[in-house]
A and B are shown apart, each in its own frame.
Chain A
Amino acid sequence: MRYLTSGLENIVNGEGIGIAITGLSIVFVALALITLFIAALPQMLTRLENVLPPEIEHHAAPPAAPLDDEPLAVAVGFALHMKAKDQP
């Protein structure tokens, strides 16, 4: 087994501080650029509205069958009727 020797000089020798600061900065820059891009995206798309094709749903699901709400209407009607009947 290789025995590890701890110490601050390992960080210095391995350029740890530089790697950490540079790495974190690059991650921040990348995600900050994404943030800026996302913030600007709606305006960009609005300006390109005339150029871009209209939004369409590909392979859209078939239209849903009309809701068979007759039993529901009967129930609501019955409830209203009972309520009206109870009132003086």
Chain B
Amino acid sequence: MEILLNFLETTGFYLIFGQPGNAIMILIGMIFIALAIIKDYEPLLLLPIGFGIIVGNIPFIASMQLSVYDDGSQGGGPMSVSVLSMIYFGVKYGLFPPLIFLGIGAMTDFSTMLSNPKLVLLGAAAQIGVFLTLLGALFLGFTPQQAGAIGIIGGADGPTAIFLSARLAPEFLGPIAIAAYSYMALVPVIQPPIMKLLTTREERLIRMKAPRKVSKREKIVFPIAAFLICTMIAPGALVLLGMLFFGNLMKESGVTERLAQTARTSMIDVVTILLGFAVGASTKAQYFLRAESLMIFGLGAASFAVATAGGVLFAKFMNLFLAEKINPLVGAAGVSAVPDSARVVQMVGQQEDPHNFLLMHAMAPNVAGVIGSAVAAGVLWSVLVVPAQPIPTPVGEPPQREQIEEQESSEPEAAHSGSPEGTTAFSLRRQPQDSRTRPDSSPEGAAQRIRTCFFRPFGASETVESRIPGTYASGYKLSPLRGWERTTSEVSPLEVHL
């Protein structure tokens, strides 16, 4: 009987009374699923996310490592790493977004953009949503890093939002991802009122010239050149844009059709499932239901609205100088959200004139928006990433152990506070791990680097080959502690290894 009672205390039905937040999140998950199935709002995203939310909010006792956050970092050995955390690895470390971009690249046709290059600027104009939201988030008291991650919701690009927030504000990854994908699903609801508000009927009736035929050579050269242009300006966008344009090159080259086919079908489907499910499962009520999440949702909605307005207004601005007018509705497609915002443009355009086909024209700013949001993410990452601490150059003789111990005992708080200024525990003046090793500028040092850098294990300063016959495993020396000079001894490699 006692066993049964103990078991009952571990059930979700029992635990959920103490954690009502989980019940709310489960309800939200069900709403997501209902929106996907009944309203057909982005079912490919909302269904996995919705079910993931339900999975991530089933209460369980703390000793059972089941959530995405049980990644072994709290100790407990390999068995403390949950399966969900392994799936979440791809979100947490930004693995899934580039793979999604590879698939997007393999399914994107840049022809309309190549045939009407001025529409690319609409993709840039819509990024104003990103930067105005950044200001809004700063105003509300978020740190610059968090504000940057929140602002990128305005890029209307889920993978980019996840990629950037994983780097700048991992503590808000769940709310940002959910907000980005939710608003992407709600593009048909958010955008039309803004588009109609900012345009006149005459403007919505503008018909645009049919796009010209683009040669195969243009399509092949474009991804390479555009990648070089963007990443030379914003190297932070290298991973996302690299995969996007690589996927597109696979498609357009014609020689890797099989790879392109896999990237745009099976691969992107698998990654979408894992990404959506893992993002949903990360919305554990204890982490998700807080005031900041509500602010993020509010800022995200504002971001989408501002981005849409920015694109439409910039199209109207361009019309002041253009002989061949642009239908300002296509500016709304500058928020990436491929291809939903382009579809919305087509829908709103056809409400005024059923014979006006804007879809192809809207695809140009739409794909330009993908590039623009990735560049914006790269810029924000470059500007807002916490700079690495410079490695101090050792001067004079290395301090003796006794001197260091004496110094540490005189300032115990700094020694154990874990602050960047102080030393961390468990080591003598040891700074947080830095994978960089101090370069030896001498010619011998350069040669040594070339010999060993490709073969040494991670974190090792150099490899040490064993010369005992029959033993083939190579040993390695750990990187020297900061502030200590590497000393060269005359001992043989065999002695070092032993």
Q: Measuring CB to CB, which residues of chain A are less than 8 angstroms from any residue of chain B?
A: 1, 4-8, 10-11, 14-17, 19-24, 26-39, 41-42, 45, 52, 55, 57-59
Contact = CB atoms under 8 A, between A and B. Distances in A.
Contact of B216 (A16, A37, A38, A55): A55
A39 B117 contact: yes
Nearest to B295: A4
A55 B217 contact: yes
A84 B239 CA distance: 68
A85 to B, nearest CB: 37
A50 to B, nearest CB: 13
B129 to A, nearest CB: 10
Contacts, number: 137
B257 interface: yes
Nearest to A60: B254
Interface residues of B, number: 53
A36 to B, nearest CB: 8
B345 to A, nearest CB: 19
Interface of B: 113-114, 117-118, 120-121, 123-124, 127-128, 130-132, 134-135, 138-144, 147-148, 215-218, 221-222, 225-226, 229-230, 233-234, 253-255, 257, 290-292, 295, 368, 371-372, 375-376, 379-380, 383-384
Nearest to B231: A30
B239 to A, nearest CB: 16
B457 to A, nearest CB: 38
Contact of B372 (A6, A10, A27, A57): A27
A1 B290 contact: yes
A19 B384 contact: yes
A10, A27, A59: residue with the most chain B Cβ atoms closer than 10 Å? A27
Contact of A1 (B143, B218, B291, B372): B291
A31 B134 contact: no
B254 A26 contact: no
Contacts of B222: 38, 41
Given A11-B135, A26-B233, A34-B371, A6 B141 contact: yes
A42 B111 CA distance: 13
A18 to B, nearest CB: 9
Given A20-B135, A45-B218, A31 B120 contact: yes
